[in-house]
Each structure stands twice: as C-alpha cells, then as structure tokens.
Amino acid sequence: MTQRPSILVARAIFPEVIERLREHFDVETNHTDAPFTPQQLAERLQGKVAVLTTGSERIGAELLAACPQLKVVANIAVGYNNFDVPAMTAAGVLATNTPDVLTETTADFGFALLMATARRVTESEHFLRAGLWSKWALDMFAGAEVHGSTLGILGMGRIGQGIARRGAHGFGMQVIYHNRSRLDAASEAACQARYVSKAELLKQADHLVLVLPYSAESHHAIGAAELAQMKPTATLINIARGGIVDDAALAVALRERRIAAAGLDVFEGEPQVHPDLLTVPNVVLTPHIASATITTRKAMANLAADNVIAFLTQGQPLTPLNPEVLPKVLNA
Ligand code: 8YV
C-alpha cells in the first residue's frame, strides 16, 4: 500500500474540514490552537507536503529551506502578506489564498464598522454601561451623517467595490475611490464610484475606508501627513491590514480631534494594540473579525482544503497565487 501524503493544519479549524482532508491525507492538527513559533512550525512541517495556514504563520525563505518536502501552503485568508511569494516560487512551493468567498461578508463588516464609528455606537454603550446616563440631551452622542455623505475608498478590489455598492445603492452616498489602477467604466458604473487622486480622496471623504493589501508600498499609507489632510469631521475605517495606518499618529489625531473618529479591525503588531488607542474614546476597536461569520469562515477553510486536495490529487489548485510553479512542482 502506498503511503498517504502527510499534511499539517496549523491552527484549529472546523472538524468537518479536517474530516474531508483525512479522506485523502494523514492530517496533523494543532489541538491547542496556540500559534506555532517559527521553530515549532518548521519542526511540525518535517515530512509534510502541505500546510493550511492563517495570518499568524509566516512563510519565508528560512522556513522553506528547512522544509524541503513542502509543496503547497494554503492560506485561510484572502490577504497573504504573511507569505513571501517570491521565496515560495523560488523554492517551487505553491501558494494559495481564499478570494471571493469572503467578499460580501467583509464588506458588510466594513459598513458595520463605518456606521458604529460615525454614529458613536460603542462609545455611547460604554457610557450607558458605566451608569453615566442620567438625562437625555439633544446633542448627546451626536455623530456624523452616513446617508448622503461622501464615502471614500482606498483600495478598490472586490471588497472595496462591495462597500461602494452598499454606500451608493443603500445609503445614497457619493462614492469616490483611489486605487493603483482605475476600474473599467462598467465596474465604476456598477458601484457608482468616481476615481480621484489620493490627495482628493483624503480631502473630500466624510468616511474613508481602507481596503488595500499590505505591502512595503502601502506601509503607513495613512500617517500624520495624510491624517492632516482629512476633514476634522471625517471618520477613518481600517479593515485591511495593520501597518497601513500609523497607529501612533492616528491615536494623536484622534486625541486632538484632528479627525472625528476611527473604526479599526486590524492593528500594527496585532494582537497587540497601541496603548494610546485603548485610551481615546473616539475609536471603535474590533479584533480582526471582518470575515467572521460561521458560513464565511467555513467557506474559507473549505476553499483552502479544496486547494490542497485539488492540487495534490489532480495537480489543479483552485486559487493559486503563483501558478507559474505548477510545472516545476508537478514534475518534481
Ligand atoms: C482572515 C483576513 O480571517 O482574509 C483575510 O485576509 O484578514 C481575514 O479574513 C484572517 O487573516 C485569518 O487568516
């Protein structure tokens, strides 16, 4: 009997997805769900041909050199800044991610965070829970208008377009966006979005939502200089990645009311959060949950599993990031 391939699932995922993987492979799981250190990950990967990862596992040249049997790394995430894709390609290791299945759920959350931030939902709840509500007042927790306002989107991929559609069609917002490349006319029309420069976006947006991938280029795309260009009444929403915003500069801008409020689902160095963000009242903070519905998280885990199964059994991954390695890996 030929030996079944061995694979690792680096974090706890849904039991039914593990069962599907076990129909094809010997599967090692992470029972405790504690993220592995780089050294533990390298040890666990000895003899494994595949691994399902999340944003907490970094895959770079050093790890790849220590794991010569590895053929495929399937990220349970659409973002893949935890991968060094050129190093994976050089090592002949396939990388996959989970696009599409989380688009609408993540756009829903982007809008939820925008509304909670603009309308001061968590700030007013903290006030109420603290027993501070003694009388109603006309201007109590008066926030910013959402309907009819100007929605700015930085990064106009699938999720950015989902947020734009919600803003334009659901809330009658004027949608402006900036992106590395301009959308085609049909896509702009579908979300009623107008392309502007980054400077115009910062200047005009009442609510600015960040949905761009993290890279060296987008590191601190929003820092003190950019925050200074925004309206003092504006809100900033980050559902993309920590590191795109300079969190220290944002905390200063929030404290000094240079912008009205922020909603953050992602942080530089998460799960650590900049201590100054924890003490300013005008920020809504959530622990990287934009794609977190059971339906969507299952779809993401299943797509990562399908990538590994389809690649290792048929040589055809569903959503490869570096398909150019396929001939090399398949002929190895
Ligand atoms: C993931 C995300 O849940 O898909 C992404 O890029 O940020 C989230 O949806 C998270 O990265 C876990 O891997």
Which residues are marked as active site?
241, 270, 288
**Distance of CA 242 from the midpoint of ligand 1 (Å):** 12
Mutate to test the pocket of ligand 1, among 78, 81, 96, 294 (most ligand atoms within 8 A of CB): 78
pLDDT at 1: 55
- The span from the CA of 281 to the CA of 146, in Å, is 20
The count of C-alpha atoms lying within 13 angstroms of the C-alpha of 47, restricted to the half-sphere facing its C-beta, is 10
- The span from the CA of 172 to the CA of 13, in Å, is 39
* Residue 239, SS3 per DSSP: coil
| Cα–Cα nearest to 205, from 214, 192, 215, 194 | 194
Other beta carbons less than 10 A from residue 281's beta carbon: 12
Mutate to test the pocket of ligand 1, among 80, 158, 288, 293 (most ligand atoms within 8 A of CB): 288
Domains with residue ranges and CATH for the chain: 6-99+294-330 (3.40.50.720), 103-285 (3.40.50.720)
CA 325-71-77 angle, to 5 degrees, is 85
- The span from the CA of 48 to the CA of 46, in Å, is 6
**Distance of CA 97 from the midpoint of ligand 1 (Å):** 10
- What DSSP designation does 2 have? P
Phi, psi of 50, deg, nearest 5: -145, 155
> pLDDT tens track of the chain, all 332 residues?
578 999 999 999 999 999 999 999 999 999 899 999 999 999 999 999 999 999 999 999 999 999 999 999 999 999 999 999 999 999 999 999 999 999 999 999 999 999 999 999 999 999 999 999 999 999 999 999 999 999 999 999 999 999 999 999 999 999 999 999 999 999 999 999 999 999 999 999 999 999 999 999 999 999 999 999 999 999 999 999 999 999 999 999 999 999 999 999 999 999 999 999 999 999 999 999 999 999 999 999 999 999 999 999 999 999 999 999 998 877 77
Pocket of ligand 1 (CB under 6 A): 54-55, 76-79, 102, 291
pLDDT in tens, 32-46: 999 999 999 999 999
pLDDT at 235: 98
pLDDT at 330: 77
Buried/exposed 27-59: b ≥16 CB within 10 Å, e otherwise: bbbbeeeeebeeeebbebbeebbbbbbbbbbeb
- The span from the CA of 287 to the CA of 267, in Å, is 9
